[in-house]
Structure 1
Amino acid sequence: MVGSGQHINFWKDNWFGEPLVELMSIPKELYSSLLSSVPCFRKGSCWTIPTFMNRHFPKIIEKIAKTTIVGNLDRLVWQKTLDGTLSLKASYNEVMNYPIQLNLCKFIWSANIAPSKSFTTWRIMHKKMPKDDNLRKRGCAIVFICNLCNSHSEEEDHLFLHCRFASKLWDWINNVYSIKLNNSSLQSIFADCAKLKNKQVKEVLITCAINTLRTIWFCRNQNRFEGILLTFSQAIRRIKRDTSLAGNSSPASASATGFIFTDYTRNRLGMTNYHFRNL
C-alpha cells in the first residue's frame, strides 16, 4: 500500500496492481537502471508523468491519475485478504489451493484411444501444431485467419477453445454430460475430467475431449485445403462415432452408485452398444 512512496520503486514494485515494467513490456535488461521511487513522479498533490507514457500508455496514465497518496508509511499488503494481512490461515489456504499438477500423459495416452488422436492432443498441448502463428514464426508468409469463424487470427487457444465453432462443441459436451468443463485451457479441461470419481465415465469423457480436439483440427483442414465447410452436426457425428468406438473397448468398470450415465446421455453420444459393467 502506497503511503509516502519513498520506499516503493515506481517501475518495478507492485503498487499499481501490476508492476509497470510488465504492463509496459520494458525489457529486463533495463531493470537495473529503473531506480526512481514514487515521489519522483509527484509534485505536490499532482502527478508528473513522462511525456512518452502519455502518448503510448494513456489508459495506464488515467489509472495512475486516480491513485491517491495518503502520506503515511508504505506497507506490504496481502491482496487475497480483506485487511491486507498475511495470516497463518491465509498462507495455508494459498498453499492448499494450488492447482494439482496432473500427469497428463496417462490421460492422453490410453489403450482405448487411437494413438493418432492422442498424438494430436499431445502436439496441441506442446504448441507444435502447424497453425498460422507457428508457421509465421518460422518465416512463412501466410494469411493469418481462423478458417472456422473467419473473424480472428488462428492462434492455439482460439482455434481449439474459444472459436465460435469450438465453443459450441464444448458446450455440447457440457450438455451431454451435465457438467461444466472449464475451457480456458486444455489443462483445465483435463483437470475437470480428472475430478470424476467413476473411472469408466472419466475415460469416456477424456476420450470425447480428445476426439473433439481432433475433430476441430479435421474441420479446419477440410475448410482450408479442400474448401469443404463441415457443419456443427457433422462434427458432432464424427465425435460420437470415434467416442463410441473407443468406449466399447474400455476395460474400466462403472459403479452403480457413481456418476449416472443415463440411456439419454448414451444415446446422445451414439453409444447404444456401450455396456457398463457394474461393480
Structure 2
Amino acid sequence: MLLHSFSVYKWLSSLLRSLSRCARNFIWSGDVTSKKFVTVSWRQICAPKNEGGLGLRDLSSLNTTALLKLRWLIITTDSPWSIYLREHFKLHGRLYSCSYKRSSIWPGIKSILHILFQNCRWVIGNSSTTSLWVDKWLDKPIVDVVGATEIALSLSRTKVSNIIRMGKWVIPSIFSSTFPDLTNEILEMPLPIDEDNDILIWEVSTSGVFSFSDGYEIVRHRFPVKSWASIIWHPFIPPRYSILVWKILFNKLPTEDQLQRRGILLAPICQLCYKNSESIDHLFSSCEFAQCAWRWLATQFGTIIPPTGSLSDIWLDFLSKRFSPHLRNVWLASGFFLLMAIWKMRNKVKFEGKPPSFSRLCRSTSTWIRQVGALTPGHVRGILDRQLLVSLGISPNSSKAPSIVPVLWHPLLFLGSK
C-alpha cells in the first residue's frame, strides 16, 4: 500500500524530509533518532559513486520519477483506466486544463508535466493527434520558439494533419511569411509514409520508451564527476575501508577540530603525538606516528613516501607508484587499511585510554597484506615485483599464457569456378 501511494501521490515535502532524515541518521549512527555532528550531505550521499556519492536514491527524486511513470502510462497506453484518466484530466499532449480538479492525484500529475514535455517528442504518423503549435514534434514546440502571439492563439488547436494535403506540406502564407525559419524546418522534415497513429517517444532512451532509471537520471541532482571515485571502490577492498577514505576526501571525520567548529568545547590535541592540534590532515600525514607508519609501509613495498607534506601530497605520491597490476592492487588495499588502522588506534586512545602501539599497527597491517594479497586480482610483470610479493607472503598471480587456436582457411569458391 505504501509503494502504491508513493507511485500515485505527490508526497508532502515535510514528510519526504522526515523520512530522509531517518535514513541519514540510520546510515551514520545505526539509529533513526540519533544525529551525528560531522556528516556528508544527504544530497551528496544520494549521488552515484562516480560523482562522489554512495549510490543511494533520493526519496524526493524517486517520488517525482514514479509520478512521471504514471503520467507516461496514462498518455501512451489504451487500458480502461488510462483512457478514463486522459479524458477526466483532459490530458492530450500539452493541451490540458490548468484549473483545479477534484482529484487527489491531480496535483502530483500536474507537478511533473513540464519535465515530461521537455523530454518527450512526437513521431508523426497520421498526424491527427499531434498539436501543430504546442506539442514537440520539431526540435522544440513552436509555441516555445515564437511565444504566445496572436497567430499562436489562433492556431493553438490546429493539428499537424491540417498542414498536410495530398502527401505534401501546405503551410499557410501568414505563417511562412512570419516565421520563415520554422517554415524551412517543417519543409525539411520527411512526411510520414504510413497512416499509423502518432507515437510519443521518450527522447532520453534509445528505445523511445520511458524507464524508471532514465526518468530518475533526469530529475536527480547532479554533481561533477570525481576523478578519485574509481580508485576507492573495489571488490577486494572492504566497503568500510573505502567509506573511511571517502569521508577523508570530503573532510568529514569527527576529528577534534571538526567538533570544535560545531560548538563542542574541547582541547583539539592529537591523540597520537600530543604535540599538535588534531585535524584530518595532521592525523593521517604530518603526525609523527602517521609518518612512521607511512615510511614503514613504503619500506615493505621497496619504495619511499616523502617524509613531509600534506595528506593530498601523500595521496598523489601513493597513487603514482608504478607497480604491476597485482602488486598495485595490494599496495592500494594496504594504504586503505593503514588509514583505518591509524583511525582505530586514535579512537582506542581517546575512548579506551589505550596507548598507541606502533608495533601492533605493523603486525596487523602485515597480516592484512597477506590476507588481501590472496584475494587481489591482477597479474605480475617483472622479477622485482614478483620478489616483492613473495617477501610479503603473497603468492604472485601469473598472467595466463596465450592460447593458440588453429585456424583453417580455404579459398573462397565463386559461382562458375572449378
Code of the aligned partner of 2:260: R
Alpha-carbon separation, structure 2, partners of 1:102 and 1:188: 18
| Alignment check: 8 A CA contact 2:236 2:375 kept | yes
Code of the aligned partner of 1:242: W
Alpha-carbon separation, structure 1, partners of 2:326 and 2:397: 9
Q: Of 240, 250, 264, which aligns to 2:366?
A: 240
Structure 2, gaps ≥5 residues long? 1-224, 400-418
Alpha-carbon separation, structure 2, partners of 1:105 and 1:184: 23
- Report SS of the residue matched to 2:264: coil
2:298 match: 174
Summarize the Cα distance change of 1:128–1:154 in structure 2 as closer, same or farther, 3 Å threshold.
Answer: same
Shift of residue 195, structure 1, vs aligned partner: 3.7
- Report SS of the residue matched to 1:129: coil
Summarize the Cα distance change of 1:197–1:243 in structure 2 as closer, same or farther, 3 Å threshold.
Answer: closer
1:188 match: 313
User: Cα deviation per residue 1:231-270 (whole Å; 9 max; x = unaligned)?
Assistant: 111011111222322221112111235x52426x644x4x
1:277 match: 397
User: Cα deviation per residue 1:32-82 (whole Å; 9 max; x = unaligned)?
Assistant: xxxxxxxxxxxxxxxxxxxxxxxxxxxxxxxxxxxxxxxxxxxxxxxxxxx
| Alignment check: 8 A CA contact 1:132 1:143 kept | yes
Q: Of 231, 234, 244, which aligns to 1:107?
A: 231
Shift of residue 208, structure 1, vs aligned partner: 1.1
Confirm whether residue 207 of structure 1 aligns to residue 333 of structure 2. Answer: yes
User: Cα deviation per residue 1:74-133 (whole Å; 9 max; x = unaligned)?
Assistant: xxxxxxxxxxxxxxxxxxxxxxxxxxx983222211111110011111111110000001
Structure 1, gaps ≥5 residues long? 1-100
| Alignment check: 8 A CA contact 1:112 1:247 kept | no
Alpha-carbon separation, structure 1, partners of 2:229 and 2:368: 20
Code of the aligned partner of 1:222: K
| % identical equivalent positions | 28
Confirm whether residue 229 of structure 1 aligns to residue 349 of structure 2. Answer: no
Code of the aligned partner of 2:396: F
User: Cα deviation per residue 1:211-231 (whole Å; 9 max; x = unaligned)?
Assistant: 111111011000110011131
2:385 match: 260
User: Cα deviation per residue 1:119-162 (whole Å; 9 max; x = unaligned)?
Assistant: 11111111000000111111111121001011111011111011
Alpha-carbon separation, structure 2, partners of 1:128 and 1:185: 17
Code of the aligned partner of 2:272: L
Confirm whether residue 135 of structure 1 aligns to residue 259 of structure 2. Answer: yes
Summarize the Cα distance change of 1:185–1:149 in structure 2 as closer, same or farther, 3 Å threshold.
Answer: same
| Alignment check: 8 A CA contact 1:102 1:191 kept | no
Shift of residue 197, structure 1, vs aligned partner: 4.2
Alpha-carbon separation, structure 2, partners of 1:185 and 1:261: 31
Shift of residue 188, structure 1, vs aligned partner: 3.3
Code of the aligned partner of 2:374: N
- Report SS of the residue matched to 2:385: coil
Summarize the Cα distance change of 1:200–1:188 in structure 2 as closer, same or farther, 3 Å threshold.
Answer: farther
Q: Of 267, 279, 285, which aligns to 1:155?
A: 279
TM-score by structure 2 length?
A: 0.39
Alpha-carbon separation, structure 2, partners of 1:167 and 1:102: 27
1:23 match: none
Shift of residue 181, structure 1, vs aligned partner: 2.3
Alpha-carbon separation, structure 2, partners of 1:166 and 1:220: 11
TM-score by structure 1 length?
A: 0.57
Q: How does 1:20-169 map to 2 (within 5 A)?
A: 103-169=227-293
| Alignment check: 8 A CA contact 1:133 1:155 kept | yes
Which has more radius of gyration?
A: 2
Alpha-carbon separation, structure 1, partners of 2:378 and 2:328: 9
1:216 match: 342
Note the aligned Cα RMSD (angstroms). Answer: 2.2
- Report SS of the residue matched to 2:292: helix
| Alignment check: 8 A CA contact 1:108 1:122 kept | yes
Summarize the Cα distance change of 1:170–1:158 in structure 2 as closer, same or farther, 3 Å threshold.
Answer: same
1:7 match: none
Shift of residue 191, structure 1, vs aligned partner: 3.0
Shift of residue 199, structure 1, vs aligned partner: 1.0
Q: How many residues align?
A: 173
Moved beyond 6 Å, runs of 4+: none
| Alignment check: 8 A CA contact 1:190 1:206 kept | no
Code of the aligned partner of 2:238: A
